[in-house]
């Protein structure tokens, strides 16, 4: 590879206690990268980078993920309708998303079948192309505003409920789903096995068409396990692969002059759910598998440019170029430089 960009959601701890969390972090190779690089503090989402790279609207996320999942959305209005666990806390109700729940496609199909039987008269049909990514097809626009699931997870559930002209109707639908699934055989079995129930869904997204044009991105290859970036790579005819396990696999996968973007998602869930222990464990893995070998490849001249993007709140961009190799006087900088004490 000639150039490598790592897009790492969750690398920047997004909560107000970031300084306290970073004090427990041992990441000397990342600190070397930050110390030598050109640094910029940011607060852009990963979707904002997709938009910049491919020249598309963030609102097309439902259409793009549906495209990747093999669904045509030309026959109606579509929303994401992902299965969730509603957790009762001292502060109220909080959503636990499907990205941290373990369930099979068979469970998803059984739960969706119950919804399809109940909501047919409302003109709503549910599709489950994957266990954790569901879609609802509507006969008419929803006339409501929905909170994206990743934002709703960070808030008390009642603060994220549907709003707008028909917001109350869509809130009622959520209550109906909870009642339909309360004693569903799938959930009875999950509770017997000690697994959290799938006790609701979460409507989100906008029913916009696929982008009419997708720009050629400023890199030659994409590696990701996320549907939106994967769909954009497909539509732009950019070579696409799954995210490799480590830098060695990445270096072996692409030609010498390749300019590659890799999206690494291992930190995203523990950061969003404030799981400090899991975040620190996965950071240690990133240090070993990515930051250390990428720094060494860049230092030795095998890699001409190395960029780390940490999107969202407390985020940053760190870019290492060939001319920075000789700036050996620049000292390592820890992640605490991006947190308020």
Confirm if 25 and 34 have CB atoms less than 8 A apart: no
> For position 341, what pLDDT does the model report?
47
Asked whether the predicted pLDDT for residue 65 surpasses 90, the reply is yes
Tally of CA atoms within 13 A in the half-sphere of 19 that contains its CB: 5
Question: Mean pLDDT for the chain?
Answer: 94
- Cα 316 to Cα 308: distance, rounded to the nearest angstrom: 8
Return the SS3 of 278.
helix
Q: Mean pLDDT across the stretch 111-128? A: 97
Q: Mean pLDDT across the stretch 85-98? A: 89
Q: What are phi and psi of 232, to 5 degrees?
A: -65, -40
Q: Where are the alpha helices (DSSP H) in the chain?
A: 18-22, 28-36, 46-54, 61-68, 105-119, 149-152, 167-181, 185-192, 227-235, 247-253, 268-272, 276-286, 292-299
Q: What angle, 0 to 180 degrees and rounded to 10, lies between the N-to-C axes of helices 227-235 and 61-68? A: 80
- Residue 32 φ/ψ region, left for φ over 0, alpha for ψ in the -120 to 50 degree band, beta for the rest: alpha
pLDDT band per the 50, 70, 90 thresholds, residue 89: confident
Percent helix, strand, coil in the chain (nearest 5)?
40, 20, 40
> For position 340, what pLDDT does the model report?
56
> For position 208, what pLDDT does the model report?
83
Q: Mean pLDDT across the stretch 175-204? A: 96
Return the SS3 of 71.
coil
pLDDT band per the 50, 70, 90 thresholds, residue 230: very high
> For position 63, what pLDDT does the model report?
92
> For position 304, what pLDDT does the model report?
96
Asked whether the predicted pLDDT for residue 186 surpasses 90, the reply is yes
- Cβ partners under 8 Å of residue 234, min gap 6: 67, 68, 240
Pick the CATH number of 3-56+213-338 from 3.90.1200.10, 3.90.79.10, 3.40.50.300, 3.40.720.10: 3.40.720.10
- Cα 38 to Cα 53: distance, rounded to the nearest angstrom: 20
- Cα 202 to Cα 170: distance, rounded to the nearest angstrom: 10
Confirm if 77 and 142 have CB atoms less than 8 A apart: yes
Asked whether the predicted pLDDT for residue 269 surpasses 90, the reply is yes
Domain limits, the chain: 3-56+213-338, 73-204
- Cα 87 to Cα 84: distance, rounded to the nearest angstrom: 9
pTM of the predicted model as reported, rounded to 2 decimal places: 0.93
Q: DSSP states of 186-204 as a string? A: HHHHHHHTTPPP--EEEEE
Confirm if 83 and 201 have CB atoms less than 8 A apart: yes
- Cα 210 to Cα 71: distance, rounded to the nearest angstrom: 12
Asked whether the predicted pLDDT for residue 3 surpasses 50, the reply is yes
- Cα 76 to Cα 90: distance, rounded to the nearest angstrom: 40
Residue found by looking up tokens 């109606």 in the block = 76
- Percent residues over pLDDT 90 in the chain: 84
CB atoms within 10 A of CB 322: 11
> For position 4, what pLDDT does the model report?
98
Q: Mean pLDDT across the stretch 310-324? A: 94
Closest listed residue to residue 333, CA positions, set 321, 318, 323, 322:
318
């Amino acid at each position: 590879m000639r150039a490598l960009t790592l897009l790492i959601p969750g690398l920047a701890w997004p909560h107000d206690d970031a300084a306290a969390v970073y004090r427990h972090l041992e990441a000397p190779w990342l600190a070397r990268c930050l110390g030598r690089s050109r640094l910029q503090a940011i607060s852009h989402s990963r979707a904002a980078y997709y938009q910049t790279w491919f020249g598309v609207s963030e609102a097309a996320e439902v259409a793009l993920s549906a495209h990747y999942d093999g669904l045509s959305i030309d026959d109606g209005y579509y929303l994401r309708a992902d299965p969730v666990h509603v957790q009762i806390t001292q502060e109220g109700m909080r959503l636990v998303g499907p990205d941290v729940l373990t369930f099979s496609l068979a469970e998803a199909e059984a739960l969706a079948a119950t919804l399809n039987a109940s909501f047919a008269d409302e003109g709503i049909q549910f599709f489950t192309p994957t266990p954790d990514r569901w879609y609802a097809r509507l006969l008419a626009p929803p006339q409501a505003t929905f909170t994206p699931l990743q934002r709703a997870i960070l808030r008390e559930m009642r603060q994220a409920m549907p709003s707008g002209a028909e917001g109350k109707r869509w809130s009622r639908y959520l209550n109906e789903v909870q009642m339909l699934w309360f004693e569903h055989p799938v959930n009875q079995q999950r509770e017997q096995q000690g697994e959290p129930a799938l006790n609701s869904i979460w409507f989100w997204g906008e029913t916009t068409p696929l982008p009419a044009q997708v720009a050629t991105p400023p890199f030659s290859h994409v590696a990701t396990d996320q549907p939106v970036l994967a769909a954009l790579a497909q539509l732009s005819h950019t070579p696409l692969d799954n995210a490799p396990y480590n830098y060695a696999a990445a270096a072996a996968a692409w030609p010498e002059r390749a300019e590659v973007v890799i999206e690494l998602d291992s930190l995203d869930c523990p950061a969003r759910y404030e799981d400090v222990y899991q975040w620190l464990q996965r950071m240690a893995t990133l240090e070993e598998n990515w930051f250390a070998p990428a720094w060494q490849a860049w230092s030795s001249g095998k890699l001409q440019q190395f960029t780390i993007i940490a999107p969202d709140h407390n985020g940053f961009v760190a870019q290492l170029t060939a001319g920075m190799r000789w700036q050996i006087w620049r000292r390592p900088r820890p992640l605490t430089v991006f947190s308020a004490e």
